[in-house]
Amino acid sequence: MSVQQQDLIIAGRRQAACSGAVFDVLAPEDERLMAQVARADSADVDLAVAAARKGYSAWSALAPKEREAALLRAADLVATQGEARLLDTLIDESGSAITKARFEISYTVDLLRTAAGEARRLYGDTFPNDNPQRLSMVFREPMGVVAIISPYNAPLSLLTKMTAFPLAAGNSVVIKPSEETPLTALALGEILVEAGIPAAAINVVTGFGADCGAPLTAHADIDCIALTGSTATGTVVGAQSMQRMRRCQLELGGKSALLVLRDADPVASANIAAQGIFTHAGQICMANSRILVERPIYEEFIAALKQAAEAIHLGDLRDERTQYGPLINRAAVTKVMGHIEQAVTEGATVLTGAEIERGLVIRPTVLLEPDRSSAVWREESFGPVASVVAVENLDEAIAVANDSDYGLSAAVLTHNIQWGFRAARGIRSGSVHIGMHAFQSNALAPIGGVGLSGIGRSGGKYSTEEFTELKWVSVSLEDDGS
Ligand code: NAD
């Protein structure tokens, strides 16, 4: 297979990096060289931000119905051409199984359509004034140029969510995708330009965190930062944004808990739990990597979870039966295997897995009763590893779920409505799902977390709120303005 060469997108047009530098993109499945992509640095960031500033004037001046129409055209392009233009890139670049890649494409269509609707919903407000001769109102306005920094795990749908809603609100964007998955981002950028969004409003700078992401977040002429990524990066970017008092939306890591209560069916619960942790090899921020099971069904549950994990198909990425493929790179494999080995050294039992299947593919792994201070229990492994512990009752399950620095998502499996809602109210987390696993998506939902999982929410009207400013405007009805 030939090695592609890909340039940046500045003001909608392809151009090489100012320095002429490129970097390699490897396909995780076999670590072959897929592409060489322009490696942007601060000079390219300057060009992209300057273009985006011009693009902001053009795009924000359009009527809401014109912004809506452009985003709907983008949705139609993805719906009709996504298989041809995006599917192979997604599979090869991010190591996605075909079912996951197809899900990303269809969810991208939903996100673009939902965002298109938001273009018409930039509602303001009015409020009473004690002086009857004065009117007070609130204008909702776009923020300007939004810097968007995205991760590798869902390179199409996450980036779309991060981009489409700010655009709907009238902002322009400079996108800095993960260095692992620039090709998907460039393909999306082309689709947005083709859909008729003013070219200058769409800019994609490909490169690394240190020499492309950092100058972007530090740039004097951006108005807002949206980062989806690790908590380590979020800490740096968040601190940077405060240097200039810029709004910063951070969607970061997770260590989601799944509670399996005593009335739940152990076999059905094990299947749900397996899906919630092993989808895309656990490279999902909301993956339920901590599973808390009430003692009366613990033995039956773990027997069923072992069976579910061992039944997972790890074949060719283009085989519909394949549930997941490789981790993104060798460093990720080393980290995940390190977490497993450390947990075992510290007393955890391996129920299944803990081995490499091939290349960067790790078998579905279930650890029992890891030490509650071990990395696998406390830190995000971002791999196909679930830890299971027994708990005595619901109160203990809620307490254990809350004993985490993270708070992105959680789930509870029970048929008892009171127990389900007690868990939903008691767990400190951005979302809690009853009767499902913890990895859920919905274009209208407020996705985000508490604690080290981040700040802010994205999706539907919640994104509109994040990516707009409020302005109080008042008027005197008296001629002398008193
Ligand atoms: P990462 O933090 O390594 O990288 C994310 C992005 O930040 C990349 O584009 C990277 O180049 C950039 N970056 C790195 N250092 C930077 C710096 N100093 N300044 C500016 N940009 C910088 O994350 P990743 O490994 O690509 O993605 C996996 C992580 O993302 C996991 O922690 C996962 O939980 C998280 N994630 C969170 C959500 C959510 O909705 N909360 C969704 C998906 C992924």
Which 8-state DSSP code applies to residue 201? Answer: G
Looking at 68, 93, 179, 251, which residue is catalytic?
251
pLDDT in tens, 319-356: 999 999 999 999 999 999 999 999 999 999 999 999 99
Annotated domain spans of the chain: 4-252+453-471, 257-434
What pLDDT is recorded for position 481? 62
Q: Which tokens is 274 given?
A: 């397996």
C-beta separation of 460 from 111 below 8 A = no
Q: Which CATH number fits domain 257-434: 3.40.120.10, 3.40.309.10, 3.90.870.30, 3.90.550.10?
A: 3.40.309.10
Confidence of residue 480 (pLDDT cuts 50, 70, 90): confident
Confidence band (pLDDT; 50, 70, 90) for 405?
very high
User: How many percent of the chain have pLDDT more than 70?
Assistant: 99
- The pLDDT value recorded for residue 315 is 96
> Is 176 a pocket residue for ligand 1 (Cβ < 6 Å)?
yes
Where is 110: in which H helix or E strand?
helix 98-118
pLDDT at 277: 98
Residue 287 Cβ < 6 Å to ligand 1 = no
Q: Identify the active-site residue in 118, 180, 285, 466.
A: 285
The finding on whether 252 has its CB within 6 A of some atom of ligand 1 is yes
What letter does residue 364 receive in the DSSP assignment?
P
Measured distance CA(137)–CA(220) in Å, rounded = 30
Q: Is 237 in the pocket of ligand 1 (CB under 6 A)?
A: yes
Find tokens 């921020």 and name the residue.
285
Report the SS3 class of residue 8: strand
* Per-residue model confidence (pLDDT) at position 479: 83
pLDDT of residue 106: 98
- What is the overall mean pLDDT for the chain? 97
Q: Go through the chain and tell me how many residues it has.
A: 482
Q: Look up the CATH number of domain 4-252+453-471.
A: 3.40.605.10
Ligand 1 centroid to residue 150 C-alpha, Å = 6
Matching fold, domains 4-252+453-471 and 257-434: no
The encoded tokens of residue 232 equal 């380590």
- Per-residue pLDDT at 1: 56
- Beta 257-260 vs 410-413: how paired, if at all? parallel
Q: Which atom of ligand 1 is nearest to the CA of 233?
A: 2
What is the structure's pLDDT at 2? 75
Q: What is the pTM of this model?
A: 0.97
Q: Could you read off the pLDDT of 411-442 as tens digits, one per residue?
A: 999 999 999 999 999 999 999 999 999 999 99
Name which residue sits closest to atom 15 of ligand 1, judged by CA. Answer: 209
Identity at 156, one-letter amino acid code = L
Is residue 4 over pLDDT 60? Answer: yes
Q: Which two tokens stand for residue 245?
A: 């008092």
Contact by Cβ (8 Å): 354, 345: no
pLDDT at 111 over 70: yes
pLDDT at 369 over 70: yes
Indicate if ligand 1 lies below 6 Å from the C-beta of 181. no
State residue 5's pLDDT score.
96
Burial label, 61 (beta-carbon count in 10 A; 0-12, 13-18, 19+)? exposed
The confidence band for 482, taking pLDDT boundaries of 50, 70 and 90, is: low
How far, in Å, is the centroid of ligand 1 from the Cα of 177? 9
Q: What is the mean pLDDT of residues 206-210?
A: 98
Residue 233 CA to ligand 1 centre (angstroms): 6
Place of tokens 């494409």: 105
3-state class (DSSP) for residue 430: coil
Per-residue pLDDT tens for 269-326?
999 999 999 999 999 999 999 999 999 999 999 999 999 999 999 999 999 999 999 9
251 is catalytic: yes
User: Closest by alpha carbon to 381, among 271, 278, 269, 233?
Assistant: 278
* CB of 352 shorter than 6 A to ligand 1: no
